[in-house]
Amino acid sequence: MIGFLFVLVGAAIGAPARYLIDRSIQARHQTLMPWGTMTVNIVGTTVLGLLAGLDATHDVPHNLLLGLGIGICGALTTFSTYVYESVRLYETGARTQAVLNMVVSLAAGLGAVTIGYSVGTAL
């Protein structure tokens, strides 16, 4: 039950952070590319990689992993919005941006989690 509370509190932090970061970034870029969603996804995958790396080499408390990993990172990142925005770009004729969004987001996410994990294991 206590693990659930850590996830709940983390999600209560991650979801509003996702919204505020996304809106803040999108307001500064008058472009079709969904830079806000890409940013939160890259930040979240970096943090999750870091947590996984720390957990692999140190004794990170399970509830902390639940709160930060599942709660904050889970609510901060968004696969569904990434896919939806890519489909919407494609449907509106912005096919190059749709493909770029999919490829860059995937590559950056994989790179971010790898870097985060490497840093976490090195600490």
Binding annotation = 74, 77
> Which residues are CB-contacts of 77 (< 8 A; sequence separation ≥ 6)?
18, 40, 41, 44, 45, 48
* 17 band by pLDDT with thresholds 50, 70 and 90: very high
* 85 band by pLDDT with thresholds 50, 70 and 90: very high
* 45 band by pLDDT with thresholds 50, 70 and 90: very high
% residues pLDDT > 90 (the chain):
96
pLDDT of residue 1: 85
Cα–Cα distances in Å, from 1 out to 5, 8, 31, 71? 7, 11, 44, 14
pLDDT in tens, 86-120: 999 999 999 999 999 999 999 999 999 999 999 99
Tokens describing residue 108: 């950056």
Cβ pair 73, 47 in contact under 8 A: yes
In sign, the C-alpha dihedral spanning 6, 12, 18, 21 is negative
pLDDT of residue 30: 85
Whether pLDDT at 81 is above 90: yes
Binding annotation for Na(+) = 74, 77
Whether pLDDT at 6 is above 90: yes
